[in-house]
Amino acid sequence: MTGGASGIGRATAILAACSGAHVVAGDLNEQALADLEHHARDNGLPIRTVRLDVTAAESVAEFLAVGEEPLAGVACSAGIAPDVPAFDMTLEMWNHVIAVNLTGTFLVAQAAARAMVEHGRGGSIVTVASAMGTTGAVNLAHYSASKGGIMALTKSLAREFGPHQIRVNSVSPGGINTPLYQGRMSEQKVRENIARMPLGRLGEPEDVAKCIGFLLSDLSLWITGQTINVNGGSLMSS
């Protein structure tokens, strides 16, 4: 699990561990990793934590080498979304978000697929896109582009990896109650967004984690190349 120490990544790591999987959670945030490690230890969950920079191939290789079992599934949740108007966005700002969100997803998926081919048992890779990859968003041109790219990347990898029985799918969250979401808008804006949602609430990280868990499991053996919207119907009301 990349981005595994907070938000959707943390919720997915905990759900998978509670379901019996041996989980390795990677993240750059060392304090968040320590908090997850304490939670896992206190609750007897098989979660190992490791510092991970998804933009560095060497770090990705070290992360994937931590697990003791043959790699069965990987979820790519690492991502950043700094608000910057397009007029003010520097090339450095653009490249940094693309590197973390899109290139990082590719590096992890590529390395994971190589490991799965090596052990010959197939597997599942789940990427994390965003509703903004479909609708776009003000002040998030780099983020929206990276998430739209993840949807296209998912389809391409599903085609290439399919002959090896490796499934590649994506979840596309919208309006999830995470620090990333809450930190970029006012309480009033959050309330306005909720009012437009058919289900009348923000999603919780666990709502997305359950979909990721389904795609990682054998329950989805005949599903690949898909992007599943997990947004309480908000994309319909955009």
143: annotated active-site residue: yes
Token digits for 108?
A: 């992890």
Residue type, 201: R
Token digits for 143?
A: 């983020």
- Give the distance from CA 167 to its chain's centroid: 16
Q: Which of 63, 143, 161, 181 is catalytic?
A: 143
* DSSP code string of 91-147: HHHHHHHHIIIIIHHHHHHHHHHHHHHHHTS-EEEEEE--THHHH--TT-HHHHHHH
Q: What residues have CB less than 8 Å from 31, skipping those under 6 apart?
A: none
As annotated, the active-site residues are 143
